[in-house]
Amino acid sequence: MRSVTVVRTSTANLASVLTGLERLGCRVRTTADPREVADADRVVLPGVGAFAAAQRAIAAHGLADSLRERIDRGRPTLGICLGMQLMARGSEEAPGVPGLGVLDGVVESYEPGEEGWRVPQMGWNLVEPQDGCRIVPRGHAYFANSYRLATAPEGWLPVWCEYAGRFVAAVERGPVVGCQFHPELSGEYGRALLVRWLEA
């Protein structure tokens, strides 16, 4: 049985993430302990809500260094939705609030250029991985986001999506993955992605 540790940021809807992993037969625990995050076999950094509030929770628990270290070492880590955004240098949602900085980019707000684009993006959209991606497959994933990375960070393989312009739907570098969408809410597509990540 695979063991997965889910980081408690006090801003995440943990229920859907925990349920999705448990359905795959994982032994799941939640923690806000930096040592447990550093030592865990696999870590999920989820998130729903505000960038600043989540980053304050990470700082309050002293989790930033543990998360950066495991990502830098290439240990299996999955950032979901706001969890991926927290991996960036910062976000336009919270000017002056630093992110973890493992993705060299700033999360930007959508700037719809045509009528009909709604923000936040809520629903299913096609994601297309760049050649070389091994964990995030091509398919339709479920999104719920008002902010996104517009450019691919150096050193990461990007997965692209189109909504009010092209943006980064996911990134991967070995077993470290960030998904702007919610794999745990993406049906069979999301299940296949989680299995690939668990087996990486």
Burial class (CB in 10 A: 0-12, 13-18, 19+), 79: buried
Domain span at residue 188 reads 3-199
Q: Which residue among 26, 161, 179, 182 is the active-site one?
A: 182
Residue 131's Cβ-side half-sphere holds a number of Cα atoms within 13 Å equal to: 0
pLDDT by residue (tens digit) across 7-59? 998 766 788 999 999 999 999 999 999 999 999 999 999 988 899 999 999 99
Average pLDDT of every residue of the chain: 94
Whole-structure pTM value: 0.95
Give the confidence band of 91 by pLDDT, cuts at 50, 70, 90: very high
Model pLDDT, residue 53: 93
What pLDDT shows up at residue 14?
87
Percent of the chain with pLDDT over 90: 89
Active-site residue, 182 included? yes
**The residue to which tokens 């809807």 are assigned:** 13
Asked if the model's pLDDT at residue 180 lies above 70, the reply is yes
C-beta separation of 153 from 105 below 8 A: yes
The stretch 169-180 carries a mean pLDDT of 98
- For the chain, report the end-to-end CA distance as a whole number of angstroms: 15
Backbone Cα Rg of the chain: 15
Judged by DSSP in three states, 10 sits in coil
| Helix locations, 73-177, DSSP H | 82-85
Across the range 87-96, mean pLDDT stands at 97
Looking at residue 113, its pLDDT comes to 60
- Select which of 81, 133, 161, 179 is catalytic: 81
Task: Convert the pLDDT of each residue in 50-87 to its tens digit.
Answer: 999 999 999 999 999 999 999 999 999 999 999 999 99
109 half-sphere exposure, CB direction, 13 A CA radius: 10
Q: What is the pLDDT of residue 27?
A: 97
Share of the chain above pLDDT 70, in %: 97
Question: Given this model, what pLDDT does residue 9 score?
Answer: 83
For the beta carbon of residue 45, count every other beta carbon within 10 angstroms: 27
Does residue 189 surpass a pLDDT of 80? yes
The count of domains in the chain is 1
pLDDT of residue 13: 74
d(CA 130, CA 13): 29
CA angle 119, 151, 60 (to 5 degrees): 75
Q: DSSP strand E in 111-187: where? A: 121-129, 139-145, 147-148, 157-162, 166-173, 176-179
Is residue 184 part of the annotated active site? The answer reads: yes
CATH assignment of the domain containing 122: 3.40.50.880
